[in-house]
Structure 1
Amino acid sequence: MTEQKSLLNRALPGLLIAGSLGGVGAIMVGLLSLAPTVDDGSGPGPQAQPSTVQIQNAAGAFVLPPTVGPGGKNVPLTPARLDAPPPLAAAPVVAPIPPAKTKAKKAAPVRIKIPKIKVNATIGSVTVDIKGNLTTPPLSKPTLTGWYKFSPVPGELGPAVINGHVSTTQGAAVFYRLSEVAKGDQIYVYRSDKKVTRFTVSGVEQVSKSSFPTARVYGNTKNAQLRLITCGGVFNKAAHSYTDNIIVYATLSKKKG
Structure 2
Amino acid sequence: MKVLVCIKQVPDMESRFKVNGSGDWYDEADLAYRMNEYDEYAVEQAVQLKEQLGDAPDVTVLSIGPDRVGDALKKALAMGCDRAVHVQDPDSCRKDPWQIADIIASFAKGKDFDVIFTGMQSQDRGSAQVGVTVAERLGHNCTTTLVGFGFADGVITAKRELEGGLKSVVKLPLPALVTCQLGLNVPRYPTLPNIMKAKKKEFVTVPAAELLSEESAVATEKLYPPVKSGSAVVLEGDLAQIADRLLGILKEKTTVVK
Q: With structure 2 as the length reference, what TM-score do the two structures score?
A: 0.27
> Between Structure 1 and Structure 2, whose CA radius of gyration is higher?
2
Higher share in helix: 2
Higher share in strand: 1
